[in-house]
Structure 1
Amino acid sequence: MVIGTWATLRFSLLAPDPPVNPEDLCEIFREHTVWYDYASNSQKRWGTPIATQMAFVYYESSFRSHAQPPRTRLWGFIPWRRPTTAYGYAQALDPAWGEYLAANGDGLFTVRTDMEYALDFVGWYNHLTHRELDIAFHKPRELYLAYHEGRGGYARKSFTRKPAVTALAAKVQNRAFRYDNQLKSCEQEFQCWRWYQFWPFCG
């Protein structure tokens, strides 16, 4: 437990600042180029498009590595418990994160405050959603509803009673499509960014 806490603190301290221009995926990747590699690796491994992964992170944490839900207030003014255990870039809950670690290796430095593992988690979760609920990877709205409500909640259509959640899922979809269009204009930059890579052998 102490080791895990230390690893989380280490990555929180070393995590980069949120992107200056989160509205433009090209600018996000120009500022944090390695994030493209992480998202690309997750897409290759699990199937979720890069733009959809990044749209999830935009709305889950605003690209803040240590994001957590605000604490509730006891008697209206005393800081109290947080409403959920959501944490990190992907706002992964403790139970889901535990399942991810069990399925993919409980590494010392596999923490929610590291974008590499946050994006891999999003991809892994959506892979299970695709497999269990037959939701296509090109449907970010439905993927996000299952991500937010859990696959069981999605199957029960719990979101139909939550207009705020359905509105948020629509925003995720719009941003995913917008990010995807942006990425088409600049992706080659990030496929050839290392000194030893050159087009067309790094696509």
Structure 2
Amino acid sequence: MYRFATTYRFALLLACLWLSGCVTSPPKKVNNVCDIFDEKKGWYKDAKAAQKEWGSSIPVMMAIMHQESRFRPKAKPPRTRILWIFPGPRKSSAYGFPQAKDTTWDWYKKSTGNWGADRDDFEDAIDFIGWYNAQSRKRNKIAADDTYHLYLAYHEGHGGFQRRTFKNKGWLKQVAKKVSARSHSYRRQLATCQERLDSSGWWFF
């Protein structure tokens, strides 16, 4: 019995260590897309695949993800407050890298057939953003490189964008400008390292 208990505790410890090693931490330097891809070696492959599939550029998708979660895999909206003291429910069901809501994520999975997709998996999250931007271009006639309006559609939803729900939201327009500026910055940065990333080969792992 003692030997079994010891073996069980050891196996449990190994499992915990393995699981902790699988937890994805955000990149240390999120302001330079080359630094991000150098640190997270599989992410460039995933981003490039999403770009090829959906026609949404890597800088645009990465800028949107930066704004939504700062690349934190398990990001959630803050909780509301009850009587200014007690934690209440969260403002929405948004979760993960893309901060996608439950209903929108279900729509993505049904539309793409990617039934096993997880919002805290970068590969699935970047594919979702590319897919959503493709819907925005199709439904709202937004140009592929128009990060400003793509982000407004991402935040407000396609119906909200059509109704111009962002019209009187000055704060949201400022955020969209920041996302657009970051996209341009990421594009300039990526131009300096993309050839290396494409030729090095290590990003396949």
TM-score, scaled to structure 1: 0.87
Alignment correspondent of 2:163 = 156
Query: CA separation in 2, counterparts of 1:131 and 1:48?
Result: 12
Alignment correspondent of 1:14 = 22
Deviation readout 1:94-134 (Å, 9 max, x if unpaired): 111010011112533x1000000000000111101101111
Query: CA separation in 1, counterparts of 2:20 and 2:158?
Result: 29
> Counterparts in 2 of 1:26-105, with a 5 A limit?
26-105=34-113
Gaps of 5+ in 1: 1-9, 198-203
Deviation readout 1:168-198 (Å, 9 max, x if unpaired): 000000000000000000001221233699x
Gaps of 5+ in 2: 1-17
Helix, strand or coil: the match of 1:185?
helix
Work out whether residues 51 and 179 of structure 1, in 8 Å CA contact, stay in contact via their aligned partners in 2.
yes
- Does residue 118 of the first structure (1) align with residue 149 of the second (2)? no
Structure 1 runs (4+) greater than 6 angstroms displaced: 10-13
Work out whether residues 45 and 203 of structure 2, in 8 Å CA contact, stay in contact via their aligned partners in 1.
no
Change (3 A) 1:29 1:135: same
Work out whether residues 77 and 91 of structure 2, in 8 Å CA contact, stay in contact via their aligned partners in 1.
yes
Helix, strand or coil: the match of 2:167?
helix
Helix, strand or coil: the match of 1:161?
coil
Query: CA separation in 1, counterparts of 2:183 and 2:160?
Result: 22
The aligned length equals 187
Helix, strand or coil: the match of 1:92?
coil
Query: CA separation in 1, counterparts of 2:115 and 2:26?
Result: 25
